[in-house]
Structure 1
Amino acid sequence: MKKRGQSAMYDLRVTVESVAGFCDLPMKPGDYFEVRGSALVLPEGGHICIWALQSLMPFLPAKQRATNDPNDWIPRTARLVCPDPKGGVIYRVERIGERAEKGPSHAAAEETPPRVRLVTDPSKCTKCRACELACSAAHGGTYSPELSRIRIHSDEETCTDTPTVCHQCGTAPCVRACPAGALIRSPETGGLVLDREKCVSCGACAKACPFGAIRMEPSGMALVCDLCGGSPACVKRCPTEAVMAVLMENL
């Protein structure tokens, strides 16, 4: 069992699933090796082609690490092919065990992945800015675009208006950047929540966000989308469905 401050690491089993061509080693279906921690472990009498191994190696350490980032394709990828075009050897990579390694202090903040994510359709945005007003009213009881977590960016050259929203990253750069541990996950929604008592107004989260979705309010506090407890006000207010809340499993 992982302790607080630790993250999961998996052991792996790599099995030859099929051979469509000619493998001169040869590798046969059912041949396998395991990755246990940082060690490659072969069964007695077993072997692995070094040409195939070099193509597998960048993937294996990444596959060992646990992640709840919905943008991460590695947990969903289980099959790799030998680079020899004549071989056609397909390897199946499976997680078979779990270890623990020391992680950063914010690891607990990422244990609950977000349930929904805001998705936008710029082609439907009319720049009415109703979403900004709804957001500021929901969080501060006032209609003020300056206090909105969602923002509309206009490009005069292309005549497009694009809502900028928090992507609720599974492994969130803003969480990692915060020196005070002020960003946590809601256990109900998995959305990010700012602990205003801990926020030191340093702006590190805003600088770390790759989407420009965090900014600082006039008082110095970070404006971070918390999904409004699971029912985003901006989504309910948008008259054209330019902003939508989509379940993670449907993305």
Structure 2
Amino acid sequence: MYDLRIVVEEIRGFCDLPMVIGDYCEVKGGRLIIPEGKHMCIWALASILPMLPAKQRNIVEENDWLPSTSRMCCPDPNGLVIYRIERVNESSETNKTNESSKTNESSEDKPFPRILVNEKVCSGCRTCEMTCSFKHTEGFSVDESRVRIDKDEANGLDIPRICRQCGTARCLEACPIGALSRDPQTKAIVLDKDQCTGCLACQKACAFKAVQVHPLSKQPMFCDLCGGNPQCVERCATGALTFGRAGEAPIKGGARAAIK
């Protein structure tokens, strides 16, 4: 387990507490320590605390967003204090500099890029469906698209249903014959059509309702990320679909949303 340091990195709004940039507290095992002369907001700590036990552990699961997430914001919309969570080495030496503590989080800890969904800005234009269908079949058919748009009338939302490439993929675990695997380069879920029996256990296991069924073969269809260049993201006009890692600037997508 790691010891942690929670540092006040930036104060964007107004905070009436005597905190200054650079103030910090430390987590050593199960102890929370605020050094003499330093200040921390108890309300901000209350929002950060649930994340700390997980940050203390060395997570090696593929596509887990937690290792690459190190900044959190105070819940007060007027304060907007940004806190940085640093891992200190496992021997509890807390005199490491910021740079040396960052080396504990290697690039290998980062989750692999995937398609991220923001249904709040989806317009329901269904361009993604047509783009996906044409990319894979050279035709335009919603039934052959790996992405589908569900309309939530009660909440006024259009919700893109597309494979989230989960780190712990329930579809992989549910397949009784091992017909699902990951592409070694993109990490996208891959279906072995010769092995697949069409039992659809994968579809039932998916919490995001993202596994679609081909109208003719009756086999499940999975997003293949277009080999790492997802065309649905390229064509999304509102930025509802982006490609990248959660909590980071998108690798693709998002820019078209700024077009008036």
Q: What TM-score do the two structures reach when normalised by structure 1?
A: 0.58
The alpha-carbon deviation at position 141 of structure 1 amounts to 2.1
Distance in 2 (alpha carbons) for counterparts of 1:233 and 1:16: 46
Cα displacement (A) at 1:63: 5.0
| Residue aligning to 1:124 | 121
- Please identify which structure carries the higher strand content: 1
Counterpart position of 1:200: 197
The counterpart of 1:234, out of the listed 232, 235, 246, is 232
**Taking structure 1 as reference, are residues 65 and 123 closer, same or farther at Cα in structure 2, changes over 3 Å only?**
closer
In the TM superposition, 1:161-180 aligns within 5 A as 161-180=158-177
Identity of aligned residues (%): 37
Q: CA deviation at 1:68?
A: 1.9
Q: Which amino acid aligns with 1:124?
A: V
Equivalent positions of 1:146-165 (< 5 A) are 146-165=143-162
How far apart are 1:19 and its partner, in Å? 7.5
1:68 aligned residue: 62
C-alpha distance in structure 1 between counterparts of 2:220 and 2:111, whole Å: 19
Structural mapping, 1:52-131, within 5 Å: 63=57, 66-71=60-65, 73=66, 94=90, 115-131=112-128
Aligned residues: 173
Deviations 1:160-215 (A, max 9, x none): 21112211111100001111211111111111111111111110100011111112
User: Relative contact order (alpha carbons < 8 A, sep ≥ 6): 1 or 2 greater?
Assistant: 1
1:177–1:204: 8 Å Cα contact kept in structure 2? yes
Q: Distance in 1 between matches of 2:156 and 2:32?
A: 53
Please report the RMSD computed on the Cα atoms of aligned residues, expressed in angstroms: 3.5
Question: Structure 1 regions of 5+ residues with no counterpart?
Answer: 1-11, 22-58, 78-91, 96-112
Unaligned runs of 5+ in 2: 4-26, 35-52, 71-87, 92-109, 250-260
Q: TM-score, normalised by structure 2?
A: 0.56
Alpha carbons of 1:67 and 1:133: their partners in 2 closer, same or farther (altered >3 Å)?
Answer: same
Hey, what's the Cα distance between the residues in 2 that align with 1:154 and 1:20? Answer: 49
Change (3 A) 1:151 1:94: farther
Rg larger in structure = 1
